[in-house]
Amino acid sequence: MDAQYNPKVVEANAQQHWQQNQVFKAVVDSNKEKFYCLSMFPYPSGRLHMGHVRNYTIGDVISRFQRSQGKNVLQPMGWDAFGLPAENAAIKHGVAPAKWTLENIAYMKNQLKQLGFAYDWDREVTTCQPEYYRWEQWFFTQLVNKGMAYKKKSAVNWCPHDQTVLANEQVHDGGCWRCGTTVVRKEIDQWFIRITQYADQLLDGLDQLPGWPESVRAMQRNWIGRSEGLRIRFPLPQAIAGLEHLEIYTTRPDTLMGVTYMAIAADHPIAQHAATLRPELADFISECKAGGTSETELANQEKKGMATGLFAKHPISGQEVPIWIANFVLMEYGTGAVMSVPAHDQRDWEFAQAYGLPIQQVITGQQGEVIDLSQQAFTDKGVLINSGELDGLDFQQAMDKLAEVLGAKDLGSKQVNYRLRDWGVSRQRYWGAPIPMMTLADGQQVPAEDFPVELPTEVVMDGINSPIKNNPEFEQTQWQGQAATRESDTFDTFMESSWYYARYCSPHYQEGMVDPTEANYWLPVDQYIGGIEHATMHLLYFRFFHKLMRDQGLVQSDEPAKRLLTQGMVLAETYYRSQNGTKEYYTPEQVDLTKDDKGRVIKALLKADGQPVEIGGMEKMSKSKNNGVDPQALIDLYGADTARLYTMFAAPPEQSLEWREDGVQGAHKFLQRLWRAVTAFAEQSKAPALAKTELNEAQKATRRKVHETLQKVTQDYAERFAFNTVVAANMELFNHLSRHELNGPQDLAVVAEGYQVLLQLLAPICPHICHELWSLLQQGDILDQPWPVLDSEALVRDSITLVVQVNGKVRARLQVSATATEEEVKALAFADEQVQKFAPQDKVKKAILVPGKLLNLVVAG
C-alpha cells in the first residue's frame, strides 16, 4: 500500500467497487425499515457550486449513517430542468434551451459521481422530459375537473416597449432589464390552483411536523396568515359601476367609529368609474400602475393617494366618508378596498398626516391613560371611546356586538381571512411544461385528453417572445372534432418540484403518476434537506401538492416529509471597485492580500495594477459577485473526501459557511495524517484479542476515549445533525490513538479497536478513504459492518474534576472520587487554599452542589 495518500486512486477504486456491486440500488423490502433521504434537486445551471456540494454532502452523510444503522435507504437525485436561465443562455449563446439543459445535466452528473454520493441513479428524474411532465399535465386536468384550478385575471410585470411579460428579476429599479422602459402592472388571464381551499389544512398540519425547524413552521404560519375579522359593507349613496356598497375586510372592527376615509386600489371598479368623471384621476391611476408587482417594491414605495370626490356612508353613523385611491391598496388582496383609521393604524396615520385628513381617536388604554396621537398612531388593543353605545367595550366585545348589529342590517359579518393567495401557475414563457388546456371557438376552456402535450424542442429564441406563442403549428389543434386553440402559457416551475419526490419512487412507471406499491413503501420522505430560502414557497407548494395527491388517492400520508433540515448558504470574501455607482467584482485569484501581525487582512491590491480594491465582506457565492469557488478545482486538487470533510467541519449545517482556502488544506492534512497512521499501524504484527479486564491505566484511558467518542458521535449523527462536532470528536480520537505508545500486545488490541471504530464513525463523511483503510485492518466492505457496540463499562471513571466557585467565580478545581458524598466534597473544598481565601467557612451562607460538575459557595458581599 502507498505510504502517500493518493485520493485520485483511492476514490476511483471505491467508486468502482460501489458501482460494480450496485450497493446503492434501492429495492422495496418489507422486512427492513425504510429510510427515504431526499436532497432538493438542482437546477442544471452548468456546473455544481459549493451550495450544491454542501447540500448533497449533508444528504449523503445522513443516508450513509442511516444505512449503517441497518435501514433500507433510498437516496435519489434528479434535475429541476425547466426554468428561465435556459432561455437566457439560449439567447446569449444561440443554443436551444433543451440542448443546453441536457449538456449541463451530463456535466453535473459526472461531478456528482466524482463526489461519491450514494445515489440510486436508476431513479434519476429529469423534469423537462415528456415522460415526467405528462403526469403533471394529467394531474392538472384532474384539478380542473374538480374545480380546483380556474382561470382569472391577474397582474404581471409588463414592458410596454418590448410588449412582453417580465419576471421580477428582469425588472431593475422599476424598468425593463433590456430597454429600461418603465415597467407597468398589466392584468392578463392566468390559471390558478385553489391553495386557499387547503389553507386550514396547511396551517394545522404544521403542528404535526415536530421534525421541521420551528423557524420554517413560523414562516409558513405567517405566510398563510389566518386572521379573524369582519367583512363590512359601506353603503354607497347611489350605485357606482353596478355596486351598491363598498366592501372591506378588517381585523380591527373595534376601530370602526374612527374611520375618516376609505382607500381603494387603482384597479377597483369605483376608481375606474371615478376616472371617467375626472381626467386627473385617470393620470393618477396610470401612475399607480407603474412599477413591478413585487411586495418589496410596493411596501417601500412612497405612499400616494388622490380623493375621488365620491363618498360612502358609514354603516353605523351614516356619515359620509370620502373615498380615496391609494397606491398601496392592491385589487388582488382581499376586496381591493380598506377602511382607514389613522388614529389606530400607523400607515393610515402617515397617509392622513400627508394629506391633512382628520384623525379620530376611538381606542384608549386599559386604564384610560391619555394617548398622544401627534407623533404616531396608537395601535394597541384597548377600550372603546367616542363610539356611542360601543363605549367601554374591549376588542372582542366590540367585534361580537358589531357582527350582531351589522349582521341584522346585512352590512357585515364575521369572516376568517388568509393572507395566502391562490397559486398562479401560468407563465408566458417557452421553457416550461405546456399547460394542457384548449380554448374552443366559443371561448370555452377544455382540458387536453392526450398526454403529453409536448413542448417542441427544436426552436429558435428571438429574445423576447416565446416560440410557441402565435405559432400555429403548436397552437392549432382539435378537440372532439372541433377546431381548438392550445394554451401557449407554460407551468410555473414550482409545479415540477412539488411532486418529484413522489416520482422518484417509480420514475419509469407507465401506468400512472406513481406506482402505489413503491409509493406506499417509500413515502413519506424521512429526511428532506435543502436551502432555507425555500422555507415558504417551495415547501408550502410541496406540502400542498402532497395533500392534492392524497385526495386523488395517489399517496396515503398527510405530509410529504417527516423531517426537514435547512442548510445555510456558502459565503466567500468579495473584492470590488466602484465606478460610476456600479461595482466591478474581482475573484480572489486576482488580488493580493496584506495581513497585519495578527493575521488579519488589512489591505487588498489588484495584481494587474497594484492598486487597492475594496474588501466587501463575506457574501453568498454568486456569479455576479465573482466570489464563487468551483468545486471541480477542489476535487482535482484534494479529492472528494477533503471537499466533503471541509464542508462538514467548517460550520454546523444550518449556519452559513464561510469559505476559506487554508481550512481546506487543514482538512486535507488530517486525511494525510490518518492515512499515514493507519497504513503504518496495519504493518505492525497482528493485534491479539482484547482482554478487557487486564488493561493498564493508559490502555483503559484510550478505550474510554474510543467509547466516549462512539457515544457522542452516534448521538450527533442521529439526533443533532452536528456533523462539525462529529469531525472534531474524530480528530480528538485520532490524536489520542496516534499518541498511544505500542508497548505490548494489548496496546495493539486497544488501538486496533480504536482505529476500526474511528473509520466507521468517519465513513459517512469520508467514505472513500475509510473504505480503503478498512480493508487494511479487516475483511469485508465497511458499508456492511454492523455499527460498533457501546461498551458502557469502558466509560466508567474513578475520579472526576469538580469545580469550586465562590459567588459564581471559579476559584479551584478538585480531583474527587466519582462516588464522593456532598460532605466529602465540601471538606475537600474548604481544605483548599484558594477557597479559604475567598470563602472562609464561617462566611458561607449557602452551598449549591451540582453532582459531578461543581460546587458554588455563596458568601455575603
Partner RNA sequence: GCCCGGGUGGUGAAAUUGGUAGACACAAGAGACUUAAAAUCUCUCGAUCGUAAGGUCGUGCCGGUUCGAGUCCGGCCCCGGGCACCA
Footprint on residues 171-190 left by RNA (CB under 7 A): 190
Rounded-to-integer distance, Cα 415 and Cα 422, Å: 18
Rounded-to-integer distance, Cα 604 and Cα 450, Å: 62
Find cell 471537499 and name the residue.
643
Rounded-to-integer distance, Cα 424 and Cα 193, Å: 7
47: amino acid identity, one letter: R
User: Which is nearer to RNA, 474 or 544 (by Cβ)?
Assistant: 544
Rounded-to-integer distance, Cα 397 and Cα 381, Å: 12
User: By CB under 7 A, is residue 303 in contact with RNA?
Assistant: no
Tell me 694's DSSP state. Answer: G
| Beta bridge partners of residue 848, listed in sequence order | 856
User: Which is nearer to RNA, 79 or 521 (by Cβ)?
Assistant: 79
Pick from 687, 534, 685, 660: which is nearest to 599 by CA? Answer: 660
Q: Which of 811, 820, 825, 826 binds RNA (CB under 7 A)?
A: 811
Q: Are 816 and 800 spatial neighbours (Cβ–Cβ below 8 Å)? A: yes
Residues between 222 and 241 with contacts to RNA, criterion CB under 7 A: 222-223, 225
Task: With contacts defined by CB under 7 A, name the span among 290-298, 307-315, 334-342, 515-523 that binds RNA.
Answer: 290-298
Binding string, residues 816-835; x marks residues near RNA by CB under 7 A: ------------------x-
Size of the site for RNA (CB under 7 A): 105
User: By CB under 7 A, is residue 93 in contact with RNA?
Assistant: no
Least CB distance to RNA at residue 687 (A): 23
Q: Which of 803, 817, 832, 836 binds RNA (CB under 7 A)?
A: 803
Least CB distance to RNA at residue 180 (A): 18
Least CB distance to RNA at residue 199 (A): 10
Binding string, residues 711-750; x marks residues near RNA by CB under 7 A: -x--xx---x-x-xx-xx--xx-xx---x-----------
Rounded-to-integer distance, Cα 197 and Cα 405, Å: 29
| DSSP alpha helix (H) spans, 621-660 | 631-638, 640-649
User: By CB under 7 A, is residue 296 in contact with RNA?
Assistant: yes
User: Which is nearer to RNA, 284 or 431 (by Cβ)?
Assistant: 431
Least CB distance to RNA at residue 828 (A): 16
User: Which is nearer to RNA, 93 or 598 (by Cβ)?
Assistant: 598
CA angle 274, 278, 279 (to 5 degrees): 120
Rounded-to-integer distance, Cα 694 and Cα 789, Å: 20
Residues between 307 and 326 with contacts to RNA, criterion CB under 7 A: none
Task: With contacts defined by CB under 7 A, name the span among 508-516, 556-564, 751-759, 808-816 that binds RNA.
Answer: 808-816
User: Which is nearer to RNA, 314 or 625 (by Cβ)?
Assistant: 625
User: By CB under 7 A, is residue 662 in contact with RNA?
Assistant: yes
Least CB distance to RNA at residue 780 (A): 29
Least CB distance to RNA at residue 750 (A): 19
User: Which is nearer to RNA, 352 or 657 (by Cβ)?
Assistant: 657
Least CB distance to RNA at residue 198 (A): 12
User: Which is nearer to RNA, 185 or 233 (by Cβ)?
Assistant: 185
Q: Which three cell numbers stand for residue 691?
A: 482482554
Neighbour-count burial of 13, counting CB atoms closer than 10 A to its CB (0-12 exposed, 13-18 middle, 19+ buried):
middle
Rounded-to-integer distance, Cα 91 and Cα 324, Å: 45
User: Which is nearer to RNA, 114 or 724 (by Cβ)?
Assistant: 724
Q: Are 71 and 527 spatial neighbours (Cβ–Cβ below 8 Å)? A: no
Task: With contacts defined by CB under 7 A, name the span among 451-459, 694-702, 779-787, 810-818 that binds RNA.
Answer: 810-818
Q: Which of 405, 446, 537, 615 binds RNA (CB under 7 A)?
A: 537
Rounded-to-integer distance, Cα 433 and Cα 628, Å: 31
User: Which is nearer to RNA, 364 or 490 (by Cβ)?
Assistant: 490
User: Which is nearer to RNA, 843 or 853 (by Cβ)?
Assistant: 853
User: By CB under 7 A, is residue 168 in contact with RNA?
Assistant: yes
User: Which is nearer to RNA, 187 or 475 (by Cβ)?
Assistant: 187
User: Which is nearer to RNA, 202 or 695 (by Cβ)?
Assistant: 202
DSSP string, 518-558: HHHHHPSEEEEEEEGGGTTHHHHHHHHHHHHHHHTTS---S
Q: Which three cell numbers stand for residue 286?
A: 396610470
Residues between 404 and 423 with contacts to RNA, criterion CB under 7 A: 419-421, 423
The half-sphere exposure of 270 on its side-chain side, counting CA atoms within 13 A, is 31
User: By CB under 7 A, is residue 615 in contact with RNA?
Assistant: no
User: By CB under 7 A, is residue 656 in contact with RNA?
Assistant: yes
Least CB distance to RNA at residue 69 (A): 18
Residues between 321 and 380 with contacts to RNA, criterion CB under 7 A: none
Task: With contacts defined by CB under 7 A, name the span among 69-77, 366-374, 408-416, 850-858 that binds RNA.
Answer: 850-858
User: Which is nearer to RNA, 676 or 700 (by Cβ)?
Assistant: 676
User: By CB under 7 A, is residue 549 in contact with RNA?
Assistant: no
Pick from 57, 211, 97, 268: which is nearest to 765 by CA? Answer: 57
Residues between 686 and 715 with contacts to RNA, criterion CB under 7 A: 712, 715
DSSP string, 95-156: --HHHHHHHHHHHHHHHHHHTT----GGG-EETTSHHHHHHHHHHHHHHHHHT-EEEEEEEE
Q: Which three cell numbers stand for residue 449?
A: 385528453
Binding string, residues 475-514; x marks residues near RNA by CB under 7 A: -----------------xx---x-----------------
b/e map 633-665, b = 16+ CB within 10 Å: ebbeebbbbbbbbbbbbbbebeeebebeeeebe
Q: Are 192 and 152 spatial neighbours (Cβ–Cβ below 8 Å)? A: yes
Find cell 473504505 and name the residue.
771
Q: Are 506 and 514 spatial neighbours (Cβ–Cβ below 8 Å)? A: yes
Q: Which of 481, 808, 819, 823 binds RNA (CB under 7 A)?
A: 808
Q: Which of 132, 138, 649, 755 binds RNA (CB under 7 A)?
A: 649
Q: Which three cell numbers stand for residue 319?
A: 356619515
User: Which is nearer to RNA, 72 or 497 (by Cβ)?
Assistant: 497
Least CB distance to RNA at residue 45 (A): 8
Tell me 301's DSSP state. Answer: S
Rounded-to-integer distance, Cα 375 and Cα 741, Å: 76
Residues between 426 and 445 with contacts to RNA, criterion CB under 7 A: 426-429
User: Which is nearer to RNA, 211 or 235 (by Cβ)?
Assistant: 211
The half-sphere exposure of 290 on its side-chain side, counting CA atoms within 13 A, is 13
User: Which is nearer to RNA, 425 or 525 (by Cβ)?
Assistant: 425
Residues between 188 and 207 with contacts to RNA, criterion CB under 7 A: 190
Q: Which of 381, 401, 583, 620 binds RNA (CB under 7 A)?
A: 620
User: By CB under 7 A, is residue 810 in contact with RNA?
Assistant: yes
Q: Which of 413, 666, 777, 791 binds RNA (CB under 7 A)?
A: 666
Rounded-to-integer distance, Cα 309 and Cα 320, Å: 11
Residues between 106 and 165 with contacts to RNA, criterion CB under 7 A: 156-157, 165
Q: Which of 85, 235, 612, 745 binds RNA (CB under 7 A)?
A: 85
Rounded to 5 degrees, φ, ψ at 77 are -150, 150
Cis peptide before 524 (omega within 30 of 0): yes
Rounded-to-integer distance, Cα 755 and Cα 736, Å: 11
Residues between 760 and 789 with contacts to RNA, criterion CB under 7 A: none
